[in-house]
Structure 1
Amino acid sequence: MNRQERSGPRQGSFWRDNSLTLAFGIAFLIVLVGQAVAGHAEFNEQLTVDGLQQLSLGQYVTSSDFAVDVTENWQSEFLQFSLYIFGTVWLVQRGSPESKELHKVGTESDREQRMGDHATPDSPRWAGTKDWRQGVYARSLGLVMGGLFVLSWTAQSITGMAAYDEQQLRQLQDPVGWGGYLASPDFWNRTLQNWQSELLAVAAMVILSVYLRQRGSPESKPVGAAHTSTGVEG
């Protein structure tokens, strides 16, 4: 046995070991800035058409109009992952690496999940407990994702109401308030058009990964894996 095998996998640099999170985080910030610049230009064009004074970029990014555009996308993304996390506990797709193996439907045993007496020395500390901490930690990912969905959905509804009421006042109409906005077509049009796109993307990924491959990606099966292989990642 050589030195590397005895000491375990060699640690790389911080940037390499966290490159997936860092790359997507940086890309998120770049795209968010791009959205702010493009949205600012479009918003000022509309203000000019309405004969109103234009806003600075700083005023725009702190406005309800920018906030609702951002939060309506966030809430749909967190909804997608929340549904997927909870749904894949009980739902399966034969042949997809996005699904667990067909015989593992459900929450699985403590042994399979390495909980309680079956926890290993490197298991998270709460996984080895036998009280409420284990129950919370065993559902922590779904709870946090669900909580982020609720928070972003609430933020969308509040900022959307503010933007909608502002538009109402520009047109010399009465504001509708939060309850009225939740019942308005504007709110549900914004919400449902995002939800349907996220659900379509998940369904497409699940079924296409049965028959198509991407070499080296954990989201794909190995290139030579059978179409019927389920829960196998490449």
Structure 2
Amino acid sequence: MSSFSRFFYQNGLLLVTFVLIMSALLGQVLTGWHDNNDDLQQMGLAALTLGQYLHSGHLLEATFENWESEFLQMGVYVVLTIWLRQKGSPESKKLDELEDVDQRPDPTKPGAPWPVRRGGLWLHLYQHSLSLALFGLFFGAFYLHARGGAMVYNIEQGHEGKPLVTVWGYMHTARFWFESFQNWQSEFVSIFSLVGLSIFLRQQSSPQSKPVDAPTTETGK
């Protein structure tokens, strides 16, 4: 196996996902550019070049409105699966026994990460680094959603001769929270669907599924 083939084999999931992200983002940029220019034309305003659109509130809002909900979904899912269980789902920890992730970190274990060997505050941060990172990304995307939304909102307000708002002011509008809640609920639906459907349905060779010949609600899960 060549070095490239081995690299792709070891990192294929991230690489393919990254290509899908960039492809979808390119499609979003091109279609969003035309859609935004249609809106501007209806208001009698000058159309944006593609370069100008890349710095627009329209693109900023649309992008981070979705990223915000994704990071929230993953953060909530990571935290909920610490304590909550679902019988029959491979997305849940076992009902009646501890798993490897529940064991206390062992600083003497060969290859243990530096924070584990260091202990104290560094260990505490490392123990919760995944959820901290996801919620940090959520709040960052939440702010950028509000910032982009305020830019779009102020273009509309200015066109209608109404007062402009700050980012904080936009976060007090029903429009901002409608945009957020409609995305949040869809992400919670995806968690519910994945956990619920994985009890009864199978996908050959996927780690997100139980073995095809496994009972629907075997003991322990």
Distance 1:136 1:167, change over 3 A: same
Aligned counterpart in structure 2 of residue 177 of structure 1, from 166, 176, 199: 166
CA–CA distance in structure 2, aligned partners of residues 231 and 148 of structure 1: 34
Match of 2:106 in 1: 116
Kindly state the Cα deviation for residue 45 of structure 1 after the two structures are TM-superposed.
Answer: 1.4
Aligned-partner residue type, residue 45 of structure 1? D
Kindly state the Cα deviation for residue 137 of structure 1 after the two structures are TM-superposed.
Answer: 0.9
CA–CA distance in structure 1, aligned partners of residues 76 and 119 of structure 2: 27
CA–CA distance in structure 2, aligned partners of residues 144 and 52 of structure 1: 40
TM-score, normalised to structure 2, is 0.91
Distance 1:153 1:230, change over 3 A: farther
Aligned-partner residue type, residue 153 of structure 1? F
Q: How does 1:117-196 map to 2 (within 5 A)?
A: 117=107, 119-196=108-185
CA–CA distance in structure 2, aligned partners of residues 228 and 22 of structure 1: 35
Aligned-partner residue type, residue 116 of structure 1? D
Residue aligned with 2:142, SS? helix
Kindly state the Cα deviation for residue 126 of structure 1 after the two structures are TM-superposed.
Answer: 2.0
CA–CA distance in structure 2, aligned partners of residues 59 and 143 of structure 1: 34
Asked if 2 retains the 8 angstrom alpha-carbon contact of 1:78 and 1:148, the reply is yes
For the pair 1:204 / 2:197, whether they are aligned, the reply is no
Kindly state the Cα deviation for residue 104 of structure 1 after the two structures are TM-superposed.
Answer: 4.5
CA–CA distance in structure 1, aligned partners of residues 55 and 219 of structure 2: 47
Relative contact order, CA 8 A, sep 6+: which one is greater?
A: 2
Asked if 1 retains the 8 angstrom alpha-carbon contact of 2:157 and 2:164, the reply is yes
Match of 1:58 in 2: 51
CA–CA distance in structure 2, aligned partners of residues 123 and 216 of structure 1: 30
Aligned length: 217
Aligned-partner residue type, residue 103 of structure 2? S
Asked if 2 retains the 8 angstrom alpha-carbon contact of 1:158 and 1:178, the reply is yes
Kindly state the Cα deviation for residue 56 of structure 1 after the two structures are TM-superposed.
Answer: 0.9
Q: Which runs of 5+ in 2 are unaligned?
A: none
TM-score, normalised to structure 1, is 0.86
Aligned-partner residue type, residue 132 of structure 2? L
CA–CA distance in structure 2, aligned partners of residues 105 and 187 of structure 1: 42
Kindly state the Cα deviation for residue 52 of structure 1 after the two structures are TM-superposed.
Answer: 2.0
Most deviating of 162-171 and 85-94: 162-171
Q: Which runs of 4+ in 1 moved over 6 A?
A: none
Kindly state the Cα deviation for residue 135 of structure 1 after the two structures are TM-superposed.
Answer: 1.1
CA RMSD of aligned residues (A): 2.0
CA–CA distance in structure 2, aligned partners of residues 126 and 217 of structure 1: 32
